[in-house]
Amino acid sequence: MAHWQGNSSFDVFALPDEHTELRAVLRDLCEKQIAPYAAEVDEDSRYPDEALTALNAAGFSAMHIPDEYGGQGADAVAACIVIEEVARVCASSSMIPIANKLGTQGIVLRGSDEIKQQVFPSLASGEAMAAYALSEREAGSDAAAMRTRARADGDAWVLDGSKCWITNGGRATWYTVMAVTDPDKGANGISSFVVHKDDEGFTVGPTERKMGLHGSPTAELYFEKCRIPGDRIIGEPGTGFKTALTTLDHTRPTIGAQAVGIAQGALDHTIAYVKDRKQFGKTISQFQGVEFMIADMAMKIEAARLMVYSAAARAERGEEKLGFIASASKCFASDVAMEVTTNAVQLFGGAGYTRDFPVERMMRDAKITQIYEGTNQIQRVVMSRALLR
């Protein structure tokens, strides 16, 4: 009988030791320094400052920043593990690494050395945070219909318009902003810029009152003759929309990771509850109906996790045509998160509908993962076009 030689192909499906060790460190940090404040953060709709302090101290708030700028240069799978583990105990807190990656991924991909030097060291040190400004009130799924304008004025750019649904709005120092520089060219007339919170003409509106993610501020941004230096454009004029789409190919798996984390947290709490809760003289975990629900929840989480890691690994390798797998990982994982958290509330019964237990918060937090960074309906459009064109 022939035998395979060399390294086992099964190694492909095993995380490297450093990723396994990263998860262990994060699990301990999250349980001790983030989880105890999660309910309070949600109840009081306040920023998770304890999580920010803990993540900054451990270097986990912006792990993707290259090491030449003071960061760790962590790969995309490691970034997903960080987000997943934080989301497992507090989805609001997981928005810290998510927003930092989303707000700077375009700079990583297309930014000049000058912009990287301005932005990255402050994120790596934890001194600053980032945000991403693409959506507008009338340009959500149809992002190319945006109305925010940018015009060259001497050696500067001047922005006018507004953005909405901006995560980290009011907390971020640096904002990646998409604006139209040539209205006659449609999507090819959109450019990408970096705005600093102190730039003249830039203001932040009131925060939204949301169903979930109460600890992560979401705000509108206003640009009124907002003047920024000419070197704060990302790439060439007219390449901004392409950069935005490429950015989403790299960041949609992070939303998938957040969804997996939320679902895993809900499952963990549910398993503990059904093994303790007694009805009809035995724990409800001994009823086959409950057993089947738990099995399905765990099975779907595992499938979602593998898809997310696969998408992140393929992005890290620089593969082309990431659109399908990036959208599939985000779409599948977020649908799983919504199903798992809904079932978690069901298995907790009346207790699950109260704020005394975390699963109702997790259910509310899970919902947004089906909406932001492209609704799951838009994800299906992206996937089908990748397959049919």
Q: Is a pLDDT exceeding 60 seen at residue 145?
A: yes
Between CA 59 and CA 10, with CA 334 as vertex, the angle to 5 degrees is 70
Average per-residue pLDDT in the chain? 95
Q: Is a pLDDT exceeding 50 seen at residue 215?
A: yes
Question: Which residue from 272, 340, 274 is spatially nearest to 302, judged by alpha carbons?
Answer: 340
Q: Which tens digits make up the pLDDT trace of 195-210?
A: 999 999 999 999 999 9
Question: Which residue from 343, 341, 347 is spatially nearest to 364, judged by alpha carbons?
Answer: 341
pLDDT score of 1: 42
Residue keyed to tokens 């949301």 = 210
Q: Under a CB-based contact definition with an 8 Å cutoff, are residues 277 and 268 in contact? A: no
Query: Is 373 labeled as catalytic in the residue annotation?
Result: yes
% of the chain with per-residue pLDDT over 90: 95
Q: Which tens digits make up the pLDDT trace of 229-269?
A: 999 999 999 999 999 999 999 999 999 999 999 999 999 99
Q: Which tens digits make up the pLDDT trace of 53-72?
A: 999 999 999 999 999 999 99
Q: Is a pLDDT exceeding 60 seen at residue 326?
A: yes
pTM, 2 dp: 0.95
Using a 10 angstrom Cβ sphere, with 0-12 exposed, 13-18 middle and 19 or more buried, the burial of residue 236 is exposed
- Residue 59 phi/psi, 5-degree rounding, is 80, 25
- Residue 126 phi/psi, 5-degree rounding, is 90, 0
pLDDT score of 14: 84
Q: Under a CB-based contact definition with an 8 Å cutoff, are residues 307 and 333 in contact? A: yes
Q: Which tens digits make up the pLDDT trace of 342-377?
A: 999 999 999 999 999 999 999 999 999 999 999 999
Which pairing describes strands 130-133 and 174-180: parallel, antiparallel, or unpaired?
Answer: parallel
Q: Is a pLDDT exceeding 50 seen at residue 2?
A: no
Taking residues 74-79, what's their average pLDDT?
96
Q: Is a pLDDT exceeding 50 seen at residue 6?
A: no
* Tokens linked to 211: 């169903």
Which pairing describes strands 174-180 and 202-207: parallel, antiparallel, or unpaired?
Answer: unpaired
What is the sign, positive or negative, of the torsion defined by CA atoms of 297, 303, 308, 312?
A: positive
Using a 10 angstrom Cβ sphere, with 0-12 exposed, 13-18 middle and 19 or more buried, the burial of residue 1 is exposed
Q: Is a pLDDT exceeding 90 seen at residue 79?
A: yes
How far is residue 338's CA from residue 364's CA, in Å, rounded to a whole number? 9
% of the chain with per-residue pLDDT over 70: 97
Confidence of residue 121 (pLDDT cuts 50, 70, 90): very high
pLDDT score of 263: 98
Q: How many beta carbons lie within 10 A of that of residue 4, not counting itself? A: 7
Query: Which member of 85, 220, 360, 373 is catalytic?
Result: 373
pLDDT score of 11: 62
Q: Is a pLDDT exceeding 70 seen at residue 8?
A: no
Question: Which residue from 112, 192, 110 is spatially nearest to 150, judged by alpha carbons?
Answer: 192
* Tokens linked to 291: 């057993």
pLDDT score of 389: 87
Using a 10 angstrom Cβ sphere, with 0-12 exposed, 13-18 middle and 19 or more buried, the burial of residue 321 is exposed
Which pairing describes strands 190-196 and 218-229: parallel, antiparallel, or unpaired?
Answer: unpaired
pLDDT score of 13: 77
Q: Which tens digits make up the pLDDT trace of 13-35?
A: 788 899 999 999 999 999 999 99
Q: Which of 5-14, 183-192, 259-268 is predicted least confidently?
A: 5-14
Q: Under a CB-based contact definition with an 8 Å cutoff, are residues 247 and 105 in contact? A: yes
- Residue 136 phi/psi, 5-degree rounding, is -135, 170
What is the sign, positive or negative, of the torsion defined by CA atoms of 321, 326, 329, 334?
A: negative
Question: Which residue from 278, 267, 317 is spatially nearest to 88, judged by alpha carbons?
Answer: 267
Q: Is a pLDDT exceeding 90 seen at residue 336?
A: yes
Q: Where are the beta strands (DSSP E) in the chain?
A: 130-133, 149-153, 156-167, 174-180, 190-196, 202-207, 218-229, 233-234, 278-279, 282-283
Domains and CATH numbers, the chain: 14-129 (1.10.540.10), 131-237 (2.40.110.10), 241-388 (1.20.140.10)
Q: Is a pLDDT exceeding 90 seen at residue 12?
A: no
DSSP 8-state assignment for residue 208: P
pLDDT score of 194: 98
Confidence of residue 5 (pLDDT cuts 50, 70, 90): very low
SS3 category, 349: helix
